[in-house]
A and B are shown apart, each in its own frame.
Chain A
Amino acid sequence: MSITMTLADWGSLFLHFISLSLLAVGGAITTAPDIHRYLVDETHWLSDTQFTSSIALAQGAPGPNVMFVALMGWNVGLNAGGGLAAGWPAVALALWGVLITMVGIMIPSCTLTFVATQWAHRNREMLAVKAFKSGMAPIVIALLIATGWLLTGNHENPAHDWPLWVLTGATTLIVWKTKTHLLLLLGFGALLGALGWI
């Protein structure tokens, strides 16, 4: 896939990610539908396959899930440079795309977080701050358990997918009760999957 990006296009790409940043409550992945609308449907800077594989790859690789944004920037730049086959100029543009998208999605939310949390830390004895933290505690704990549940519950076909549920349940117990290294568990899961047992 090959596209042409003008300076104004790079500018609007940057502005779009800046504007999405503060909407990403609950993680960057919540902005994925809007990114799809903008990059795939509207501007055609990214193909549907590139969009999907960017998310899949970011989830398979180590690091925060927001890495999918970096991969989309990479792919837009690569498309603008004529693909990986075009060599270093394309790679340079791809890195430029990473910079534009990542800096855009990061600056507003990071600034807000830094300012707000420094304030909250200075005022940690204030009733409102204490009440907020105590009130939110049971909610965020339940959210974590619900996230684990949702990630498993996504498998629609119980007759076929039950081994995945067993794996998730066993992992929960092992992590809760033992100090087994987390990478060992992930490696084990990858192995089971690669062998086609789950």
Chain B
Amino acid sequence: MSDSPSHHGAAPNAPQSKTDLFISFTFLALQGFGGVLAVVQRELVDKKQWLTTDEFVEDWAVAQILPGPNVVNLALMIGGRSFGIAGALAALSGLLLAPTALVLLLAAAVAGVADTAVAQGMLRGMGAVSAGLIAAVGIKLMGALKNNPMGMLTCIGIGALTFVAIGLLRLPLAWVLLSLGPLASVWAAHCIKQRGAA
């Protein structure tokens, strides 16, 4: 992972102010076609370095398990950590205000156009690209598993199980999170304790 910041220790940078949070998340949101996650990883980890890859994976795990849009949860966490509730609201409004305005303008402007062959083709093309963006983020984040207390091999095993359950068997997400999640967490607790004792 030569293009990512160091995996160990704290992130080199942090948001400067609530305005910084608002503007950064507005900028992120407006780049995020077909989901914002890929842009968040690129901007906040690779470029701004507000988070290390490890921290991003940890935060993403929490954002994923809590109800609500994942990227919204992530914005609340990052904003809240630096500037409390005001920071959380700054990041959240940055993420939502401009895209809401834009999507409503689009809705008013293109009512009817959305069904044309060209528009459908564009959506198909962008959909295929955004599928690749998301998969690439997953591959990039695998580097963070090197520091996982469960060890790389166990992590790959758990990851493979998750992929089969969701990607191939198409089981509901809630089942997978609620069954594999607690098992993996208990095993991780065991590994952390052993490492502490050794």
Contacts and interface: CB of A to CB of B under 8 A. Distances in A.
Given A67-B100, A176-B139, A143 B73 contact: no
Contact of B138 (A62, A66, A102, A145): A145
A185 B118 CA distance: 18
Contacts of A131: 185-186, 188-189, 192
Interface in B135-191: 135-142, 144-145, 148-150, 154-156, 158-163, 166-167, 170, 173-174, 176-177, 180-181, 183-189, 191
Nearest to B95: A64
A1 interface: no
Interface stretch (A8-16, A36-44, A147-155): A147-155
Interface in A15-69: 21-28, 30, 53-54, 56-67
B87 to A, nearest CB: 10
B193 interface: yes
Contacts of A22: 67
Q: How large is the interface on B (under 10, 10 to 19, 20 to 34, 35 or more residues)?
A: 35 or more
B78 to A, nearest CB: 10
Given A114-B76, A135-B188, A64 B29 contact: yes
A188 B176 CA distance: 35
A4 interface: no
A28 B71 CA distance: 10
Interface in B20-77: 29-39, 42, 46, 57-58, 60-73, 76-77
A133 B188 CA distance: 9
Contacts of B71: 64
Nearest to B184: A135
Contacts of B73: 109, 113, 117
Interface in A158-198: 164-165, 167-176, 179, 182-183, 185-186, 188-196, 198
B127 interface: yes
A57 B107 contact: yes
A135 B125 contact: no
Contacts of A2: none
Interface of A: 21-28, 30, 53-54, 56-67, 70-71, 74-75, 84, 94-95, 98, 102, 106, 108-110, 112-114, 116-118, 120-121, 127-128, 130-153, 164-165, 167-176, 179, 182-183, 185-186, 188-196, 198
